[in-house]
Chain A
């Protein structure tokens, strides 16, 4: 037994090296050349819808540059680009850099000349970005025939908890033949007691599962070309009680139905998958969709319809 222990000690000693218990090794990814980044996920701004959007990213185009994942400096905003949006329907708009927002916006927003954009079905749109000293960056996006929303019904308080309720949302859609992509969002409009309103987001769930991460983003794969009633749960947080001790009820439910171009659908889907995979070692990694030539990012055109359902 003594001999065995000596042998074991010899093996251990002879195999020692300076990084014996160092279990990590740095990887050098080499030089990284950042690509021009163009993100233009535009929507129709011809309706009041625009006022309800809480992000500028659907109103303008972000022009920047990608960076190495190990680079911790900020992204640069490329402010000297010539950005032009054209459409087969005759649309021809210049987008100008707005320093307040960091986006290229249609028209001359600095002077209040904000140009409204109408997103039409069966139209091809082209976004061209010229940056001095760089190859032209461009992207194309095509819209299809949009689905027709025929009716929206809200069944109140289908399931109730202490702090929130699930309202059942029924949306009847007349889906045209061919591939279509949809996105839903819901706002509850509450009175603030001073004659104004405030809004709470309704979080959507699939009626089949609480674990479907994003039921609000879907295709017409299962109802292509049909008239279909789609059902969702919308989670509404209870906002305290009134003087009579009753829950404060919203004035309206506002449902936004987005008809997405394929580019927008692919971008939303892949970004979400990418985020899901980041903190989950068991999830499959996801490549984010890009349709930008000579660059990276996305150019898409979507139409938003806004439906106000009074809370009876």
Chain B
């Protein structure tokens, strides 16, 4: 290891020879109050017009010619700090930025941020956790995923649920990572809430295209969510008591400026509230129902600063959903339920090898498992019949990753690294146990465990050539499953031409490959969806995406981005017609799926204001999104279910003063594309008679579909409103949040149902059957109240 690092250092030293008269300024950028590292803080040399940003660990490095320098350190919502120094040798120091927001002073000084025109990265949006917390949400539960759904290029799927469809991609094509660890199921309560507790989070970044080379393994997006590291300076806490859940987050130093902890927990309690009422309703019934429906989750993190060069982080997440019932009636007892949850853990080691070289080593664990169980027991006349079944499905990862940032000079920012992931899948198996008179069956059906290994390496350099900046990278990945070995070399190119500090043109081209797939219904994401690997028969999904656009700063505080994109996806997966998640039970899920082609293109506009009394964004997407499979829709191309021609989101919050703030969202979107059976076709006739003549006939028939997803639900629109009342207390701060979801109670269709009604006609003395298609909305106006506190 030591030899490798020495060799590496020698090579890197050679690269910087041409900058021999230059010296390096390096260190970390921290929040002054908590000691949290600040991601993408700007370090700028105003005299030279050059600068850099801190990486995701807060580390920065800037190499420049010797001489007197002025460095401005800035970060959104923080006071800018200027440092003047005479650069005559490599210099290392950490910067602590103080928040510019206090309850007494709401005026915020505008700063540039990482989404600004100067940044080479395009198709990336950083959403501050503070903004997410201000956004009114369903049942008042702050939700990262629902906030992300409001961004251009992201379709929400079914209203009120946590589907993420980014630039025409499927949900499995999103790499959702929490502290660098993939999260395989992002939903609680069947998708109504996400697994991310905003109080424990520091940073949320969505990348929809122009993917930097360090990311891989998914086709459509990277949602990089970072947990807070824990306050190194002082003990603090925050929490919330809401309509459906409560949560509490505590953090503080174990050893001041050395070791910190963070722990955060959340639980819903609808079941606890409902239980007494259900018991009361049941008291006169023979049958007794005992339901359980809740979720809980915990986030925890330990941070230890060994010295200025070494830092260790240990973080974890554990969440579980439980949805069970028990029914008792006479001697019959039946029970059933569905339980699912994620467990993830990460051990991270930051190592500042030199002023220009920063290493990060991560060991991670991720597990998602699901079980569906049912049982009954019937005790009758000394005869007992028992049946139980359990459906299980899981994916488990062990992974290691090594990343290096090398900043030899202001014109090059090199990143390279690699890693390996060991995947283990249990894509659906069922255990059955049946005990009755003379019978005892105990069997296991379904697919057995399968393993695969995914490996990758990457290299990228962000090169500055005057006004032109390029991020050139290569991502190599390989996948070993059974006796099949896949490889993929993926070029990644990002370009930026800076017209002036307020305007730039950007373009990108990226290729991606994906080796693990989610077998899911198009209509709804469910915890029962199965993660399965690419196999000899199921080829890896691949894509390429090209995007171009402009990024501009308008009137100081407004960032405007306009982008056009085209994405082609190969080997995308879909269940065959008529198949569903039970496909895995027959031992060969591969025969129940098809691989085909996906295509998406469109334009996105995002006008964002991150500072001032009024903050938020307006996002608009115009897009087309299709799929084509040889075995589906008779090989004809059809619109993807979430092909949405127009999608508009307005997300605003306004701080009236230090005591009251308002927030609101308005969303509008083209209706989802759905498949409707619109005609009946007879296939067989049975004529019957009275022995002499035919008196009637019955038909067998099927309901016909013209084209898949050829019908559009009504367009949807919705307004959510919220108002927050802040008050400073002796012990800290409290906030009452009142919000209304779907404030004008618009019936946004969730699904379409064919209803059949029977009426008895008194005249003809016959029953009359009528059928109508109805759009069903499930989320009317929903008010909520939450009490938040912070100390």
Q: Are A286 and B521 in contact (CB under 8 A)?
A: no
The smallest C-beta distance from B695 to any residue of chain A, in angstroms, reads: 12
B777 at the interface (CB under 8 A from A): yes
A173 adjacent to chain B (CB < 8 Å) = no
The reply to whether A284 and B785 contact each other, CB–CB distance below 8 Å, is: no
Structural contact, A62 and B684, CB atoms closer than 8 A = yes
Report A273 CB to chain B, min CB distance, Å. Answer: 2
Which listed residue (B522, B685, B752) contacts A103, Cβ 8 A? Answer: B685
Interface of A is mostly: loop
B685:A287 contact, CB within 8 angstroms: no
Is B771 in contact with A72, judged by CB distance below 8 angstroms? yes
1/0 per position for B692-726, CB-CB distance to A under 8 A? 00100101011111111000001000000101010
B780 within 8 Å of A (CB atoms): yes
Does A122 sit at the interface, judged by CB under 8 A?
no
A299 CB → nearest B CB, Å: 13
A197 within 8 A of B: no
Interface residues as binary, A191-232 with B (CB distance below 8 Å gives 1, 0 otherwise): 000000000000000101111100000000000000000000
Asked if B694 and A100 sit within 8 Å, CB to CB, the answer is yes
Q: Which residues of A contact B574 (CB under 8 A)?
A: 284
Chain B neighbourhood of A100, CB < 8 A? 687, 689, 694
Are B776 and A24 closer than 8 Å at their CB atoms?
yes
Which A271-306 residues have a C-beta within 8 angstroms of B? 271-278, 280-289, 296-297
Total residues of chain A contacting the partner, CB 8 A = 73
CA distance A38 to B694 in the complex (A): 22
Contact of A20 among B682, B689, B780 (CB under 8 A): B780
List the A side residues contacting B582 at CB < 8 Å. 211
Tell me, yes or no, whether B783 is within 8 Å of chain A by CB: yes
A100–B706 alpha-carbon span in the complex (Å)? 33
Return chain B residues, CB-CB under 8 Å to A281.
523-524, 751
Given A62-B683, A100-B687, the answer on whether A285 and B708 have CB atoms closer than 8 Å is yes
Q: Which of B94-102, B341-349, B585-593, B646-654 lines the interface with chain A?
A: B585-593
**A67: contacting residue among B676, B679, B745, CB under 8 A:** B679
Please encode chain A, from 73 to 111, with 1 for each CB lying within 8 Å of some chain B CB and 0 for all others: 011010000000000000000000001111100000000
Q: Contact check, A99 vs B682: say whether CB atoms are below 8 A apart.
A: no
Chain B nearest CB from A237 CB (Å) reads 16
- How many Å lie between the Cα of A211 and that of B583 in the bound state? 8
Q: Is the CB of B577 within 8 A of A286?
A: yes
Q: How far is the CB of B584 from chain A (nearest CB, A)?
A: 9
**Known contacts A11-B721, A72-B770, A287-B708, A32 near B781 by CB under 8 Å:** no
| Cross-interface CB contact of A77 among B524, B685, B768, cutoff 8 Å | B685
Contact among A23, A66, A280 with B776 in the assembled complex (CB-CB below 8 Å): A23
Q: Cβ of B478 < 8 Å from any Cβ of A?
A: no
Q: Which of B579, B582, B744 is packed against the most chain A CB atoms within 10 Å?
A: B579
Residues of B within 8 A of A37 (CB): 681-682
State how many angstroms separate the Cβ of A83 from the closest Cβ of chain B: 15
Contact B780 A55 (CB under 8 A): no
Assess the A283–B679 pair: CB atoms within 8 A. no
- A23-B777, A27-B752, A282-B581 known; A288 vs B745 contact (CB < 8 Å): no
A39, B682: Cβ atoms under 8 Å? yes
Query: Which chain B residues lie closer than 8 Å to A282 at the CB level?
Result: 521, 523-524, 526, 580-581
Judge if A248 is at the interface, Cβ distance under 8 Å: no
A69, CB-defined interface residue at 8 Å: yes
Task: State whether B678 touches A69 (Cβ < 8 A).
Answer: yes
Contact of A51 with B by CB under 8 A: no
Q: Decide yes or no whether A53 CB sits under 8 A from chain B.
A: no
Q: When chains A and B are docked, how far (Å) is the Cα of A210 from the Cα of B444?
A: 11
Minimum Cβ distance to chain B for residue A14 (Å) = 9
B interface residues, tally (CB under 8 Å)? 79
The residue that B578 contacts in the complex, of A26, A62, A274, with Cβ under 8 A, is: A274
Total inter-chain residue pairs, C-beta < 8 Å: 220
Q: What are the residues of chain A within 8 A of B404 when measuring CB–CB?
A: none
Q: A19-B747, A277-B578, A285-B705 are in contact. Are A206 and B774 (CB under 8 A)?
A: no
**Is B633 a contact partner of A287 (Cβ separation < 8 A)?**
yes
Which of B578, B704, B752, B781 is the one whose CB lies under 8 Å from A296?
B704
User: In the assembled complex, how far is the CB of residue A198 from the closest CB belonging to chain B, in whole angstroms?
Assistant: 21
Say whether, besides A12-B781, A20-B781, A273-B576, A101 and B738 are in contact (CB < 8 Å).
no
Which residue on chain B has the smallest CB distance to residue A16? Answer: B745
Measured CB to CB, the closest approach of chain B to A131, in angstroms, equals 15
A229–B253 alpha-carbon span in the complex (Å) = 71
Say yes or no: A26 contacts B774, CB within 8 Å. Answer: yes
> A211 contacts B769, CB within 8 Å?
no
Which residues on the B side are within 8 Å of A296 (C-beta)?
Answer: 681, 704
Which residues of A lie under 8 Å from residue B723 when comparing CB positions? Answer: 7
Bound Cα distance A161, B443 (Å): 14
Contact A212 B526 (CB under 8 A): no
Query: What is the bound-complex CA distance between A100 and B686, given in angstroms?
Result: 9
Whole-angstrom distance between the alpha carbons of A72 and B699 in the complex?
A: 12
**Interface digits, B733-755 against A, CB 8 Å rule (1 contact, 0 not)?**
00010101001110101011010
Neighbouring A residues of B439 by C-beta, 8 Å: 161-162
Rounded to whole angstroms, the CA-CA distance of A56 and B676 in the bound complex is 30
B675 is an interface residue with CB less than 8 A from chain A = yes
- Give B47 Cβ to nearest chain A Cβ, in Å: 53
List A7-45 residues whose CB lies under 8 Å from chain B: 7-8, 11-12, 15-17, 19-27, 29, 32, 34-35, 37, 39
Cα–Cα distance between A227 and B443 once the two chains are bound (Å):
33
10 new A-B contacts at CB < 8 Å, known A39-B682, A102-B686, A162-B439: A19-B747, A27-B774, A29-B676, A62-B684, A62-B685, A64-B682, A71-B680, A74-B697, A273-B577, A281-B524
Residues of A within 8 A of B (CB): 1, 4, 7-8, 11-12, 15-17, 19-27, 29, 32, 34-35, 37, 39, 55-57, 62, 64, 66-72, 74-75, 77, 99-103, 161-162, 206, 208-212, 270-278, 280-289, 296-297
The 5 closest A-B CB pairs, nearest first, are A273-B578, A286-B577, A209-B586, A283-B580, A285-B675
8 residue pairs of the A-B complex, CB under 8 angstroms, read A15-B781, A26-B774, A62-B682, A71-B771, A161-B439, A208-B588, A273-B576, A282-B526
